[in-house]
Amino acid sequence: MKDLKQHYTQKSEFAVQQLKSMVTKTNLLVGLRVLAFGLIILLGYLFWGNLILEVLNIVVLGFLFMVLIKWHGMYDAKKEYWSAVLQFYDNEIKALENDFEWAKDGNEYKIPQHEYAHDMDLFGNLSFFHKINRTSTLGGENCLAKQFLSNDNKNIIAKQKAITELSELQDFQEHFVGTSRTNKSDLKPELLQGWFKNYQPAMNKNIKYILWVFPVISIVLLSLYISEMIAGIVFGGWFTLGLIVTGLLIRNTLKFSIEINRIAENINTYGSLLDLIEKQKFSSEILVNIQKNIRQDNSQASAMFKSFSKKVDLFNNRNNFLVGIFGNALLLWDSQTIFALEKWITNNKETVSNWISGIFEMDALLSLSLYRFNHPQFTFPTLLSQEDKTLLKAEEIGHPLLNVENCITNSVTMTEGNFLIITGANMAGKSTFLRTIGLTIVMTNVGLPIFAKNIEIKPQKLISSMRTEDSLKDDESYFFAELKRLKYIIETIGKTPHFIILDEILKGTNSKDKEEGSKQFVQKLVKMSASGIIATHDLGLCTLSNDLLEIQNFYFDAEIINDELHFDYKMKDGVCKNMNASFLLRKMDIV
């Protein structure tokens, strides 16, 4: 951890230096702009009456003023970039101290009826998502959440290689984060992608002939007017016609302006991100495929987005008085630029979504790769073949959200069709162990390393029942909600094998009925050749091991030493004998 903190501290200090340098340069350029403008005014006054000097003053200092504006914009963008990078590294330092107030916790992704998300604390305050999420775009955040929820146990090796490769590309990660986080108008991905996909051009494609002819006529009439071959009223009439045509279309133009400028900043940022992805050399299959998907007919997506941005800039020149009046009167500027943009959208609307999705996928992968970088002591699981009878073999496995230095680890081995029944005192570690195994499966499936000394695992899907909730809305009792969940589990594993995690099922009925029902349910699971773990306080459930070889009993113990409760959080073979509820009631003066 000291090495990581030192690494991020050095990165932060360098970003501070760069940010100070950019602030100094932007302040200097502001001063130089003011000076240049003042000189233009002063020399204009002094040279008044001298045409040559006035022209030189305006051309030379005017050009210098425009250059200074361009430089100021460039260094101001760099200032925003280094500010974003500095915040990124400072947040990583906070994360090492278990401070995640700065991060999004993904609470909006909670799905109570999901196969496992609610039970495994995937989303919400200080959840797994909260502590791993480093995404810089809303689309990347959505992509990361979908990966956690997908239960997809395919292509795990490819995911591991992509995450490993990205974890070693620290400069690429810094550039991606710094670039993406300068975007202040990060639209929801479905709005952005949907806008392109569903856009319907407002202009008839045949208008292009008018847009070709009108400027030609304007140039001819202007030439004839300057040559005094036609009267001013003729040219003035044509000039007025251009303004009338523009005025008739102004409602659609203003609507288009609002829509196009709403997405313009996103497109500028995405163009830069695509440029980063295109230029980076990748070797892993997933990353190479992302690069391939953002190419169209050997054209680079970044160049296409830059072309789009330039067209937006040309359209926005309508806000300049001279362009707004003379450009529209002589060239139909609004219609020309809108037509060019609509042509671009029509030609690229089918592939824009792929380009943007590539950015989001890379953003999500960068979050996973940073987790890999921040946990160098974690181990990538060795994947077992489907023919192997071993389901899971973990040595010194721990919960990924607990402090590595203080976490008590356990070892466990399971084979196909194997079911563990875990008993133990309250707070002794049963539920934590269940979530450790559950998160291990989820992390394996997304390609992450595991908090374990060594782990071998067969790729598998997960399903659980640990936190069933009643529903007043559906007039549903807690017990009925439990039954529905258990029925859902049976139906699901009947279609596709899943690793099952259960915690104290059938809590909504009396103890005798609960024990008998739990036994029947576990027997049903064993009969279906299911594998999993169940935690329970019902010691009677442990008797199933007498008749079923597939059942194994383990327990977490508690001891009372010097009138104090002590836990070792170690899983032991057998059935728990010590419970602590009555002791805690007395200790807290409740009874």
Phi and psi at 391, nearest 5°, equal -100, -40
Q: What pTM, to 2 d.p., does this model score?
A: 0.87
Q: How far is 153 from 574, CA to CA, in rounded Å?
A: 32
Which CATH number among 3.20.20.70, 3.40.50.300, 3.40.50.800, 3.40.50.1820 corresponds to the domain 382-587?
3.40.50.300
Low-confidence ranges of the chain (pLDDT < 50): 470-475, 584-585, 587-588, 590-591
Only one residue has tokens 């984060």, namely 177
Length of the chain counted residue by residue:
591
Question: Coil, strand or helix: which one is 115?
Answer: coil
Give the residues across from 421 on adjacent strands. Answer: 534, 553
Model pLDDT, residue 225: 83
Residue 449 corresponds to which amino acid?
P
Q: How far is 424 from 408, CA to CA, in rounded Å?
A: 16
Only one residue has tokens 């695992």, namely 457
Model pLDDT, residue 591: 43
Only one residue has tokens 């003023």, namely 65
Beta strands in 76-211 (DSSP E): none
Give the residues across from 471 on adjacent strands. Answer: 476
CB 107 within 8 A of CB 121: no
Exposed/middle/buried for residue 140 (C-beta within 10 Å: 0-12, 13-18, 19+): buried
CB atoms inside a 10 Å sphere around CB 392: 25
Model pLDDT, residue 197: 82
Domain residue ranges in the chain: 2-102, 179-374, 382-587
Only one residue has tokens 């602590």, namely 580
Reported as type and span, the H/E element at residue 102 is: none
Beta strands in 529-563 (DSSP E): 531-535, 551-561
How many helices and strands, by DSSP H and E, does the chain display?
A: 20, 12
Q: How far is 359 from 137, CA to CA, in rounded Å?
A: 9
Model pLDDT, residue 47: 82
| Residue 486 CB partners (closer than 8 Å, separation 6+) | 465, 505, 521
